[in-house]
Amino acid sequence: MAKMLVIYKTPADPAAFDRHYFDIHLPLAKQLPGLLRYDVSKRPIVNLLQGETPYLVATLYFDSLEAIRAAFATEVGKACAIDRRKYAPDHDVTMLLFDSEAM
């Protein structure tokens, strides 16, 4: 299984972020081809180390890294990338793609 982890910093306007994320972006992202599951963190997030605590963490699950790449090459995937920049600029987001296995 492959995952896309999206970590958002605290936005300048949390209420506006939440409206856009949950009302516009999340429904769009759920249309990604090959998406198996989509989790969003509950608040508060507990940071056990020093540093900034994320505002929100989203985890998207796919069969493989290639499935993630293919999903974001589609019109829906491109629309997701464009839309994300409307509520969270690149410097406020960390995105990690990785394969995982159960141990």
Per DSSP, what are the bridge partners of residue 4?
60, 97
- Kindly report the pTM of this predicted structure: 0.93
pLDDT at 102: 86
Nearest in space to 95 (alpha carbons), one of 41, 40, 58? 58
Which residues form the domain of 21? 2-99
C-beta of residue 60 within 8 angstroms of C-beta of residue 35: yes
CATH number of the CATH domain containing 44: 3.30.70.100
3-60 pLDDT per residue, tens: 999 999 999 999 999 999 999 999 999 999 999 999 999 999 999 898 899 999 999 9
Domains in the chain: how many in total? 1
